[in-house]
Amino acid sequence: MSEQPHNADSNAGVEWGTPKKYVLPLSNAIDGFDLDPASGAEPTPYANTRYTKEDDGLSQDWFGHVYLNPPYGREHNMDWASKAYNEVPNCKSITALVPASTSTRWWQKYYAKADVFCFVDTRIEFIGAGKSGASFANVICIFNSQNLSEQYFRELSRMGTLMKRLQINEGSVFDY
Ligand SMILES: C[S@@+](CC[C@H](N)C(=O)[O-])C[C@H]1O[C@@H](n2cnc3c(N)ncnc32)[C@H](O)[C@@H]1O
């Protein structure tokens, strides 16, 4: 069933799948994602291991190279953001496609701690979201970017503007 595009803080977007053109080039650049912890809406699997709603990806251990496009909406954003952030030390990398809601608490507290960001240059036509695409911008947040290949970032750069986080410590600017 198709849902109309909606604001990212509403409960729309729970079953919106990522179009293949965003996932496959990244997946190919690392010989496949190991885990998709919020899975089910995609027509073909995006990772070797998938957790669906029945498995509950929020209560499982995450590992390897993770591709995450979590359920969007007020009820879900904080839980998935905090779970992703807490799993970073256990994973080779986490690639999270999320709304670019940069002023929200869940984004600031967790996704803002990623080390590389790709601000997607178009409104994504999510699978199941209807023809006009999302009514909000998206950002792909990368944690543990040091474990990803150069080819990965080349592919990512075709999807939007890449930015790296800077950390300011006692007057010095460190490349995070
Ligand atoms: C936004 S869709 C993304 C699907 C797919 N990963 C993709 O990128 O196309 C989120 C998916 O997570 C599933 N889901 C919802 N709650 C979940 C949970 N607690 N654990 C795992 N998956 C869940 C939904 O059924 C839905 O298929």
For residue range 74-102, what is the model confidence (pLDDT) as tens digits?
A: 999 999 999 999 999 999 999 999 999 99
Structural contact between residues 92 and 147, judged by C-beta atoms closer than 8 angstroms:
yes
The predicted pLDDT at position 156 comes to 98
pTM score, whole prediction: 0.92
The predicted pLDDT at position 4 comes to 40
Tell me the CA–centroid distance for residue 79 and ligand 1, in Å. Answer: 13
Q: Is residue 140 very low, low, confident or very high in pLDDT (cuts 50, 70, 90)?
A: very high
Structural domains of the chain, ranges and CATH numbers in brackets: 20-164 (3.40.50)
Q: Is the pLDDT of residue 1 over 80?
A: no
- Give the span between the Cα atoms of 176 and 167, in whole angstroms: 6
Q: Is the pLDDT of residue 119 over 50?
A: yes
Across the range 15-39, mean pLDDT stands at: 96
Q: What contacts 126, CB < 8 A, 6 or more positions away?
A: 13, 16, 17, 18, 19, 133, 134
Return the percentage of the chain with pLDDT > 70, whole number.
89
What stretch of H or E contains 161? Answer: strand 160-164
The predicted pLDDT at position 160 comes to 98
Q: Which of 90, 72, 87 is nearest to 129 (CA)?
A: 72
Q: Which among 22, 53, 75 is the best mutation to test ligand 1's pocket, defined by most ligand atoms within 8 Å of the CB?
A: 53
The predicted pLDDT at position 174 comes to 62
The predicted pLDDT at position 168 comes to 80
Q: Is the pLDDT of residue 5 over 50?
A: no
Q: Which of 78, 136, 84 is nearest to 113 (CA)?
A: 84
Mean pLDDT, rounded, of the chain: 90
Ligand 1-lining residues (CB < 6 angstroms): 13-18, 36, 38-42, 46, 51-53, 55-58, 69, 71
